[in-house]
Structure 1
Amino acid sequence: MEFFKYTRTFNFMGKSKAAMVFSILIVLASYALLLTKGLNYGVDFAGGTVVQVKYDTTAPIDEMRDSLKTNEIFSGASISEFGSPDEVVIRMKTSTGNVTTDIGDLTREALKGTGNYEIRRVDIVGPTVGAELKEKGIMSLVLAVIGILIYVAFRFEWRFAVASIVALVHDVSIALGAITLVGLDVNLDVLAALLTILGYSLNDTIIVFDRIREGITKNRGIDLGETINESVTRTLARTTLTSLTTFFVVFTLFMFGGEIIHAFAFTLLVGVVVGTYSSVFVASPILLWFGFDVKNYHVKLAAKAQKNIEKQRIREQFESGVM
């Protein structure tokens, strides 16, 4: 289904400098937030204990705080609403090392007399396990970026690979800045969202690069900037429809999916918008600014074609018994 007709070529490269300045400012602002405010690591990475409690009516948070003070295990615990006024989460930065101690039973004992409630979830992560999860999470992001670099360099050319990596770093940086700005807990769900952003943004960028390579191959005499404009314009309908459908699905999860996937959905929302933007205004202009040589590219294509012809000729001679 085609909602957008390809009738004229938009001058995306003419807006590339302004877009790049905007991107640099946003990325620098994200790094400034990361340095000053820092990421708020959740239990998965920082270690600690999370207890989810649901009341029949509105949770008496002040009364709960007073009740928890009777047990020193809950010293420094924070209580906050979890999606609705009748459901709360108790977070503690420390976890009990005593395997015979049931934190759920301790919570029930401490909250006696605060109303009718049920313990829905108890998550305990030790500091050693949390540090290990954090290390492996960072390693997974680094390995994903390295794998993408190798893949794109092998499939296209090294300038395409560098341009795609710059776009991915741009996307992840802004997503982390947005997470820091709103104060979301960084846990395994957020890590999964960041890895999803890498895949989504790369897929969008590869489609644009395929069009650019196709345009370079067909239009030998056209300027690279004009080829990029034409290629991006031809993918505009696909990019718009894909991004909008993905955005609406993730937005629905964000609005109605519940507090448990709130951070995951928010990270993806930012990633979908930024990933679509970077495919057009970050990856493509970098390819142009890196001095991609169209003539040299055609020389390489001609040499490769000649080599394939020579291989075919030798194969035919071998099959016919003439060598």
Structure 2
Amino acid sequence: MRRRLRLTGIAGTGTVRDRLLRRNPQLMRRPRRWLAASAAVLVLAGSGIAVRGVDLGVEFTGGRLIEYSTATPVDPDRARAALADAGFPRVVVQSSDEEQLTLRTGRLTDPEEARVTDTVRNLGGTADKVGDHMVGPSLGKELRQAALSALVLALGAQLLYLAARFRWVFGTAAVTALAHDVIVLVGVFAWLGKPIDGVFVAALLTVIGYSGNNSVVVFDRIRERWRSGAGASFAQLTNRAILQTLPRTLNTGLGAAFIRTALAVLGGEALGDFALALLVGLVIGTYSSVFTAAPVALELQAHISSTPRRK
């Protein structure tokens, strides 16, 4: 049985982790350096939001949703390219079945709507309109508020959960790292000129969950070491906990990166922005859950007079 466990890797702690623990690099010796790096990334992302602006999607600004039934199946990527050539590069094209296309776009005049219909008709033989819905500015405003409420609720729930499970220091540090992830991801999309739509919000909430889970793993190990690490400082306990969890964090991130890269490559243009948001969020979330959350916790702990209580 012992030999079988060795073959599966369950019996040991892992070569990378053992080497890290033997060398014991003091990653948290100067936590403010990590915070300075995070601040620099925030400034770069924020400058993208300030300079390029945030390109809100149809759901948040209002627009038009048109559904067509065609005589022959039309590939969404082909339809998207044809519409771009016709002067509509930002139309979102989806197919609910082989012979039905759904188009989401901004406000269209009657001549523009006729050009869109003619383009779809040239691709599918016919283009019978089976649905035509306007997304007004008031509805777009409601959707923006709903998306913002979902984001605030996600961050608040993380804060309450971590404060209840660990300490308010850890909860505040984790939410600071999550807010860092949100700003950086929005800034990257601003620099790239990508739209902020419902799909992006879904990816953003996924990144928040991933980054928060990584922070929980690190903070849980810090708590375990605090129980058994009498005499060690909070910074030493934090550094040791990071070294123990870092291989796990990187392995999880690499595994998720393979899947999301496949989604970006094979998912086509329809899923391209979603996969890009997940990939960027994966990198930023992996970094911030260790090298932003932990330094923030160290700085907060340094500014309170009481030591962490053992639970």
* Fold shared by both chains (TM-score > 0.5): yes
Per-residue deviation, residues 123-148 of structure 1 (Å, max 9, x unmatched): 84332222211110011101111111
The answer (yes or no) to whether the contact 1:194–1:267 under 8 Å persists in 2 is yes
How much identity, in percent, do the aligned residues show? 31
Q: TM-score, structure 2 length as denominator?
A: 0.77
Does residue 16 in structure 1 map to residue 41 in structure 2?
no
Query: Cα gap change, 1:15/1:49 in structure 2, threshold over 3 Å: closer, same or farther?
Result: farther
CA distance in 2, matches of 1:120, 1:167: 49
Q: Which amino acid aligns with 1:183?
A: G
The answer (yes or no) to whether the contact 1:45–1:130 under 8 Å persists in 2 is yes
Q: Radius of gyration: which is bigger?
A: 1
CA distance in 2, matches of 1:118, 1:133: 33
Which structure 2 residues correspond to residues 1-323 of structure 1 after superposition, within 5 A? 1=9, 2=14, 4-7=16-19, 8=22, 9-14=24-29, 16-49=31-64, 54=75, 64-65=86-87, 77-78=88-89, 92-94=105-107, 106=114, 110-111=118-119, 124=133, 125-291=135-301, 296-297=306-307, 300-301=309-310
Q: Which amino acid aligns with 2:249?
A: T
Q: Which amino acid aligns with 1:270?
A: V
Q: Secondary structure at the match of 1:205?
A: helix
Query: Cα gap change, 1:79/1:271 in structure 2, threshold over 3 Å: closer, same or farther?
Result: closer
More displaced, 139-148 or 46-55?
46-55
CA distance in 2, matches of 1:118, 1:30: 45
Per-residue deviation, residues 137-192 of structure 1 (Å, max 9, x unmatched): 01110111111111111111111111011100111111111111111111111000
Q: TM-score, structure 1 length as denominator?
A: 0.75
Query: Cα gap change, 1:56/1:160 in structure 2, threshold over 3 Å: closer, same or farther?
Result: closer
Per-residue deviation, residues 232-258 of structure 1 (Å, max 9, x unmatched): 111122111101001111111111111
Query: Cα gap change, 1:221/1:171 in structure 2, threshold over 3 Å: closer, same or farther?
Result: same
RMSD value, Cα: 3.5
The answer (yes or no) to whether the contact 1:54–1:117 under 8 Å persists in 2 is no
Q: Which amino acid aligns with 1:29?
A: L
CA distance in 1, matches of 2:226, 2:128: 59
CA distance in 2, matches of 1:227, 1:273: 25
The answer (yes or no) to whether the contact 2:117–2:127 under 8 Å persists in 1 is no
CA distance in 1, matches of 2:51, 2:77: 40
CA distance in 2, matches of 1:63, 1:109: 14
CA distance in 2, matches of 1:274, 1:242: 14
Structure 1, unmatched stretches of 5+, are: 66-76, 305-323
The answer (yes or no) to whether the contact 1:200–1:275 under 8 Å persists in 2 is yes
More displaced, 15-24 or 165-174?
15-24
Q: Which amino acid aligns with 1:64?
A: A
Count of residue correspondences: 280
